[in-house]
Amino acid sequence: MIGAILRAQLLSMRMGGRGRAFSVVTGLIWYGVWVVAGCAVFLGVSGASADRLRLWLPLGALGVCVYWQVMPILSASMGSALDMRKLMVYPVPHSKLFQVEVLLRLTTGVEMLMVLVGSVAGLFHRSAIAGCVSLPAVLLYIAFNLLLASGTRSLLERLLSRRKVRELLVFLIFMVWMLPRFLFLTGHRPHLTGSWSHLMESAAWPWTAAAWAALGHGELAALLSLGGWTLLAGWFGRAQFERNLRFDAVAALATPQTNGASPVQAAAEAFYRFPARWLRDPLAAIVEKELRSLVRTPRYRMVFVMGFSFGLMIWLPMILGARADRNVTLSHHFLPVVSVYSLTLLGQVSFWNCFGFDRSAALIYFVAPQPLAKTFAGKNVAALVFIYLEVFILAGVTSLFGVNPGAGQILETLLVVGICSLYMLALGNISSVQYPRGLNPERVSQGGASSRFQALIMLLYPLSLLPVLLAYAARYAFASDVAFYLVLAFAAAVGGALYWIAMESAVATAFRHRERILHELSNAGGPVASD
């Protein structure tokens, strides 16, 4: 049964070989770093004294557990999992499905497997007997993490399927992630004393039990403790898995009925209808449709919130530190930097792959009477509306922190973001037809751009920012705002020409390869869904 599921997954991926070299290169770089980390662990374990291993090995095991459980959530990519909607129609025992689900948790902890292999190899290097003793404890600890990760993912999937809960939950998770960095850069230092080490000196904790069992220290008691924790994690994982099987995600997404229109709904309608005051149909209708659909898309809402929250948590501590050091230059450019960062986040779920949320419904754009160029333009205008809305929110939030941007900096930010958007929208229209990918609007943890396009974005993104960077270089070199705005005007003219050429190229490519584009957008994939 497991072989059949894997074979179905491979068959669903066989059409996706175009451009796989970029994914292979980025994967080799990432896992190459962790191979080096595993070698460093091997050298550290093989050369450390017994007392140091007894102290630091439990801390290392704790780090492995934290990474395995938390990092998939913080990185907004919770790995692969079974798509139950495609499997529940078959008479497959739930126990078999649970086994596959647990095995798929390996996709979120491959890096930790490399670290554990390095530690076991280090123990073998110290003594073959010690290495053999460590193997059962390490395998049991891996099973504990797999079962716990399975239950954690199942629980989070149900929480993230409920309206308003998922945005709040993911927002809180990202804020917790950035809190240590915020405290560090603002000058707050935790006062650690030597008394913390006694917290690790108990086999009641699974990481300490795993470390001590691997070292042969109190081996029987440590293995019993670790075995108990593994059984508890197995019960938690299986219980959450069964609850997921009975959970109706579609019902959780249903919008509750309300009597009459609330003030919030009236304001939302005014926001949706605003483009019709300035644009003519069919462009106004396309922009309104995009505004309505993106606001109702959980993944887009989450990224939009991250733009002015996560971005502030990254850059605001630097600005507060710069103000303390009287660094006026860094404070002056704070709003443009954060706004461009927000533009980067929004691009993943909008203009880099503008047909992603339409999926198979993108067929209407090829058969409707309006020109396809109007569709691209409408999607780009809707993206600009949210981009500038992000800028105004950032300006208001930064004012609350005492960093008043002022009218001049806000105007400069609007110009800079607009010019950067010209270049990014031009490249995004081409990427939307060259690397299309259907997106699930309910999965807030999945990236927007195609995996084979991620490496290209790393190259295209600096190029799209280069004209604006040249304008700032001109201001610095000539110490003149006039030079800055002249270079910006020239960059805007070049960006407009590039946008026009890219639009014609994207339309021609869309008609020439419409069958492939529609196939990629409507491809539902295999029984294993990957984030």
Concatenated DSSP letters for 359-387? GGGGHHHHHSSS-HHHHHHHHHHHHHHHH
Compute the average pLDDT of residues 311-327.
57
- pLDDT tens-place string over residues 206-257: 888 888 888 777 677 888 888 889 999 989 988 888 887 776 655 555 555 5
* Residues 433 and 506: beta-carbon distance below 8 Å: yes
User: Tell me, what's the pLDDT at 450?
Assistant: 46
Q: What is the pLDDT of residue 17?
A: 46
For residues 210 and 350, give the distance between their C-alpha atoms in angstroms, rounded to a whole number.
Answer: 45
530 forms beta bridges with: 80
Report the SS3 class of residue 80: strand
Domain total for the chain? 2
**Could you write out the three-class secondary structure of 134-197?**
HHHHHHHHHHHHHHHHHHHHHHHHHHHCCCCHHHHHHHHHHHHHHHHHHHHHCCCCCCCCHHHH
Residue 47 and residue 101 share a domain: yes
Residues 74, 29: Cα–Cα separation, whole Å: 20
> Is 381's pLDDT higher than 80?
yes
The answer to whether position 196 is within a domain reads: no
Q: Mean pLDDT score of the chain, rounded to an integer? A: 75
Whether 176 and 144 share a structural domain: yes
> 221 with 78, same domain?
yes
Residue 529 three-state SS: strand
Query: Is 90 exceeded by the pLDDT of residue 522?
Result: no
CA distances for 139 relative to 135, 214, 295, 409, 493, angstroms? 6, 10, 46, 57, 62
What is the domain range of residue 456?
267-530
Name the percent of the chain lying above pLDDT 90. Answer: 2
* Nearest alpha-carbon partner for 422 in 390, 466, 373: 466
**Do 222 and 340 share a domain, yes or no?**
no
Same domain, 328 and 236: no
Q: Are 502 and 427 a contacting pair, CB within 8 Å?
A: yes
At residue 182 the predicted structure's pLDDT band, cuts being 50, 70 and 90, is: low
- 97 and 219 share a domain? yes
* E strand or H helix that includes residue 528: strand 528-530
Asked whether residue 242 falls in the same domain as residue 275, the answer is no
Say how many C-beta atoms besides its own lie within 10 A of residue 80's C-beta.
Answer: 18
pLDDT tens, residue by residue, 468-492: 888 888 888 888 888 888 988 998 9
Whether residues 136 and 227 fall in one domain: yes
Residue 23 lies in a domain: no
Quote the pLDDT of residue 397. 75
Element (H, E) at 282: none
Q: Are 464 and 427 in contact (CB under 8 A)?
A: yes
Residue 19 lies in a domain: no
Identify whether 282 is preceded by a cis peptide bond (ω within 30 of 0): yes
Question: 479 in the Ramachandran plot: left (φ > 0), alpha (ψ -120 to 50) or beta?
Answer: left
DSSP tag of 327 = -
